[in-house]
Each structure stands twice: as C-alpha cells, then as structure tokens.
Structure 1
Amino acid sequence: MALFNQKTDLFDGRPKDVLHVAPEPCFKPIFHQKLGSGYITANLNDDHVMVKMDITNIQYPDASFDVILCSHVLEHVPDDRKAMREFWRVLKPTGWAILLVPIMAKVTFEDPSIVDPQARLIAFGQEDHVRVYGRDFPDRLREAGFTVQTTTVTDLVPNPEAAIRMG
C-alpha cells in the first residue's frame, strides 16, 4: 500500500477506471471499497475475478483505463511484448500502470522451446514461467510505448529490516 499512497494518485478520491490483472486477494477488498465501480479485476485462469481476460487480446476499447495494475504475470505470458502493447493500447493518454515482474538476471532470458515444467523450473526458476527478466525489462516497456519510471523497494522503505519484514 505504501507505493499506492506515496507515489500515486490512486486513492485521491477522483473516479478512475482501474484494470487489476491477477489481483492479489489482500488488495481486492480494499481497492473495491476505495475505487468503487471503476475497479475491474481480470484473470485468464482464475474464476474469482470480474472478467476472464487474455492480456494479449484485451477486449476493451482503446484508452479505457486510467490505471493498470499487473504484478508478477508477464513472466507467465508467452508473448509478453504483445501483452505490453495491449496494456498501452487500453491505457488512457493521461493514465499510468504498475507492471511488476521479478528481475532475476542481467539480461532477459527466454527460450520458447523449453516447455517441460521441470526444464522451466531449472531455466526460469518456476515451472510455469516462460522467461527470466533482466534489467532490460524497462526497455521492453518502452518498446510498447510506455514512459518508464523504475521504483525499487528502497525507494519506498529505506530501512532494510522493514523491507524484509514487509516481504
């Protein structure tokens, strides 16, 4: 919540159309209460959302959302660049997005020929990941059209012990 309260206008009281992809259960009730009817949850493989959605083919028109939230999803998506372009397409010109991925390498590594879950675990760190993102992740977002501002945990919580405690 620190990121949303300190670095965004998400809870400033003005109405917003918010797309939350693969919403975290701890955030859903808070966001729904604070954001109201403009808050939409979406997922491809989870029935506990409002909309079933493939983020590489978003069913909403251009410039539909003020805010897009997507945490730890893109590393599961075979065509992440298409998903990023779709996020850019449905984001309003004055909108913003928080797109989080685990950065585990210097340069992004992906190999679509690796399909076996055990091989993916070895290559990407998790059975259902299709890549390991590197520090070039912002470049992928820029290629999709985004202006990127990188935020790290130390930008929000300068105390290392507090950062560890908060996960």
Structure 2
Amino acid sequence: MKTIFKAILNFIPRPLLIRLSYIIRPILAIFLKGKTYTDPIDGRSFKTFLPYGYGIQRENVLSPSTLSLERHRLLWLYLKNKTNFFNDNLKVLHFAPEQAFYKRFRKLKNLGYITTDLNSPLADVKADICNLPFSDNSFDVILCNHVLEHIQDDTKAMQELYRVMKPGGWGIFQIPLDLKREKTFEDNSIIDKSERTKIFGQYDHVRIYGRDYFDKLRRIGFQVNEVDYTSTLTKDEIEKYCLIKGEIIPLVTK
C-alpha cells in the first residue's frame, strides 16, 4: 500500500489525482471502515487512515472518506468551534480549494464562496496569486492553505492577499512550518525535482518556512495570531482525529 501511494503521488499530475479520487474514495472508505480513528469533517470512523507524503511518507494521516490530512481536520475543528465561518454572511475567497472542504463550503448558504487557482479543476477563477483579478477590500475571509510555499515571490502574493481582504476581515494562511527553524530557507538554484523533494519535502515547494513567517505577514500589514488549537484538545481527541500536537494555525486579520 505504501509503495503504491508513493508512486501515485509522485507520477500522476495533481489535477488528474483530484479527478481520480472521486472514483477511488468511496471504495477506500468501505474497505477501511472501523472505530479507531474519526474524521471530524464527515464524522465517519475507520480502523486506520492512509499513508501520505512525497518524500518521507507519514503513516496513518489521510482520511479515506474526505481525503483530509492532519491540517485539514485541525482547520475544520477550528473553523467550526472558534469562528463565525458557518453562521455569518461572509464573502469568502478560497485558494487551491481542498476536496475535503470544497463541496461542503459550496453548500453553505451563508457564504458567498469563490475559489481560485491556476491549475485546480475546482477553481471558479483561474488566477495568479501574485496578480489577482479582484478589487481592493473584496473579501471578509480568505483561506490560503499550503499555497505560499509553492510561490516564488511570496511577498507579492501576501501583498495581494492583504489588498483584497476587507478591513476587519480575517484569513487563515497555513504553510508547512518548521517551528525549530528561526529563519525561512530557500534556494532557487535547486531545480531538480528529486533534490527539491529531499530538501524542501515536496518537489514543487520552493522554501521551508521558519518562525519568521509570522513576522513577514506582520510586515505586510496583517495582525497575526499564532493559534495552537490542539492545546485546547485532550490527548484522546488528538489521537482520535489524527492531529499533530502543537501545529500552529496562522490566523491573520486586517
């Protein structure tokens, strides 16, 4: 299983993976049904989750039903329990929409929900994050998760995110974050895909973010709250939902 998943992740283009997953997902959910782990996004339980990872694979992290990873389940719990996302009338911009969320967010009648990306088949608007086709102060909420590590000019991307967010608006900008690293590392001379996977953790990542990520967002103009939502959960809940203890949710406001 582990070898098969590694081959699929590394050799099948992501847009095609998204389409194929709609066929494979129901089969996996039935095959792995159990009571050990629960996906809070749809409430379904399984005897195990699936492995996932481009370089070093992480075991027991990918939900068979929603295809959510640890960060998606953490974000769902936070949005559900600590924000107005599911209740208030909000205009939302969602970058590179994740399958775990896409249809669920689309169905929420309180949201004016717009998705955007350059390549995703789930995007309403095909757009470059560094040159967005939206007016200033357009969105109450922006979700931009595990996107910025792919962008060469992340400063420009952050400036665009700030520009299109309404004053008083908020967003969540998750990234792969190495909390042990003070400074972000990037090296544009590394172009080999296997070398990028080895150094950055994924072949299409261009940097490893350190704790200075939060200060960079602050320099753009955002107020930043480094939220450790797992600190409010029990050990049993963290294990049940297969979360990463101590994972930080970057909550930004304008």
Q: Structure 1 stretches (4+) deviating beyond 3 angstroms?
A: none
Does the alignment pair 1:21 with 2:95?
A: yes
The aligned length equals 165
Q: How does 1:1-167 map to 2 (within 5 A)?
A: 1-12=76-87, 14-35=88-109, 38-104=112-178, 105-106=180-181, 107-156=183-232, 158-166=233-241, 167=243
Q: CA RMSD in A?
A: 1.6
- Decide whether aligned partners of structure 1 residues 35 and 91 sit closer, same or farther in structure 2, where only a CA change above 3 A counts: farther
- Decide whether aligned partners of structure 1 residues 35 and 69 sit closer, same or farther in structure 2, where only a CA change above 3 A counts: farther
* 8 Å Cα contact 1:16-1:35 kept in structure 2: no
Amino acid at match of 1:7: K
Structure number with bigger Rg:
2
TM-score in terms of structure 2 length: 0.61
SS of 1:48's equivalent in the other structure is coil
* 8 Å Cα contact 1:11-1:35 kept in structure 2: no
Q: Please state how far the C-alpha of 1:3 moved relative to its aligned partner.
A: 0.7
Q: Match for residue 25 of structure 2?
A: none
Q: Please state how far the C-alpha of 1:113 moved relative to its aligned partner.
A: 1.5
Q: Please state how far the C-alpha of 1:36 moved relative to its aligned partner.
A: 5.5
TM-score in terms of structure 1 length: 0.91
Structure 1 portions without partners, runs of 5+:
none
* 8 Å Cα contact 2:97-2:122 kept in structure 1: no
Residue-by-residue CA offset, 1:54-90 (whole Å, 9 max, x unaligned): 1111110100100000111111111111111100000
Residue-by-residue CA offset, 1:117-167 (whole Å, 9 max, x unaligned): 1221122111110000111110111111100001124245x2234324424
Q: Please state how far the C-alpha of 1:35 moved relative to its aligned partner.
A: 4.3
Identity score, percent: 45
